[in-house]
Copies of this chain bind each other. A is one copy, B any other.
Amino acid sequence: MQDFTFYSPTKFAFGRDAETRCGELVKEFGGSRVLIHYGGGSAVRSGLIDRVKKSLDDAGVSYVELGGVHPNPLDEMVYTGIDLCRAENVDFIVAVGGGSTIDSAKAIALGTLYDGDFWDFYSGAAAPSKALPVGTVLTIAAAGSEGSGDSVITKKSTMEKRGTGGECIRPKFSVLNPALTQTLPAYQTACGVTDIMAHVFERYFTNTKNVETTDRLCEAVLTAMKNEAPKVIADPNDYEARANIMWAGMVAHNNIVGVGRDQDWNSHGIEHELSGLYDCAHGAGLAVIMPAWMTYVMKHDVMRFAQVAVRVWGCDMDYANPEATALAGIKAFRTFLRGIGMPINFEELGAKVEDIPALVEKFGIGDGKTGGFVNLDRNDIAAIYKLAAEATL
């Protein structure tokens, strides 16, 4: 196990009607003038924004609002938000939505207190050190942004999708009410589950030895998702299954299951180019990319892939041929994804094989290499896109 620091000081209010605690939580963490940041009209139409406003009113906290965050959130909204926060002397941002809205809120929180262009944090030109405090009311279990110090934004002019991270943008509080996710279409729900599982897999595939405790915790989250996801696809109103998925989404990404080990994260990078170019859902892109990545890198550590095949997917261990077990695990993952309605290849995703050179170009590693589990160059990335393009069950 490697040395590490773990710090997850977000306060989670979990359960039915938890959004009514929003005002009290803003005050607890020192806010007095809030930007309510949200996405499409559904949060308004469902009455959720009104409930958040009422909670702030009841706590004597004033607010302004900014809706319209796009999935794969754009830099232009961030600039608008920064201007608004400065003009209105906002001292706390409450994001009401999923990962996109939360990530947009984090970018605004960074940019408001920064003299330069907020994009500096995403291009790597600057490191986050201070930001307005952020709270969240989560409406999609997926990104884990409600418990993480990460944010991903897309620059509209170039469609570059880039991330940043820092303690200062970790939410002070997050409201997790599983009932808010019951109105999500099955497709988005499944995208969320895929993202949660991908967050675990990115941590699970590691070269670090002797990480039994976090290995087992990773397998626990994966197994729970394997069992709970089909329930919500079958019955969108299954509060209990949604609650299990929502808590797993946080656990999967606040790093409690990933400490002390190298992590990979190539699948996320490879996927970002897909959702950047085609504006598809991140989870759907991961469903296409991650099994292809697994197939491509499997021989790097066949026994680790066999391990997850047996422990999570319930495959029989083929002791004479562990590679067969590893492959059976990848197939089981893809079958699971298809079963919850996810695409498994380019055609189903709406991506084009002829775009692969452009995707690799945008991936932008030049002659370099990337990835914590298997270090890949641009030819490897192209090969993974090709495997993903042509995948079948």
Known: A216-B220, A217-B251. A12 touches B7 (CB 8 A): yes
Beta-carbon contacts of A252-288 to B below 8 Å, as 1s and 0s? 0000100110000000000000000000000000000
* Nearest B residue (CB) for A249: B213
Q: Does A5 contact B (CB under 8 A)?
A: yes
Known: A2-B15, A15-B4, A247-B259. A221 touches B210 (CB 8 A): no
B11, B18, B219: the one contacting A7 at CB < 8 Å is B11
Q: How many residues of A contact B (CB 8 A)?
A: 45
Beta-carbon contacts of A339-368 to B below 8 Å, as 1s and 0s? 000000000000000000000000000000
CB atoms of A213 and B228 under 8 A apart: yes
Q: Give this chain's copy count.
A: 2
* Nearest B residue (CB) for A210: B240
B residues in contact with A237, CB < 8 Å: none
Q: Does A3 contact B (CB under 8 A)?
A: yes
* Nearest B residue (CB) for A209: B240
CB atoms of B18 and A14 under 8 A apart: no
Known: A7-B12, A14-B5. A247 touches B214 (CB 8 A): yes
B residues in contact with A215, CB < 8 Å: 224
Q: Which A residues contact B (CB, under 8 angstroms)? A: 1-16, 18, 178, 209-217, 219-221, 223-224, 227-228, 240-241, 243-245, 247-248, 251, 256, 259-260
In the A-B complex, the 10 residue pairs with the smallest Cβ-Cβ separation, listed nearest first, are A3-B15, A210-B240, A9-B9, A216-B220, A220-B220, A1-B243, A7-B11, A213-B224, A213-B244, A6-B12
Can you list 24 pairs linking A and B with CB atoms under 8 Å apart?
A1-B15, A1-B243, A1-B244, A3-B14, A3-B16, A3-B18, A4-B12, A5-B11, A5-B13, A6-B11, A7-B9, A7-B11, A9-B9, A212-B224, A212-B227, A212-B228, A212-B244, A213-B228, A216-B220, A217-B217, A217-B220, A219-B220, A247-B260, A256-B256
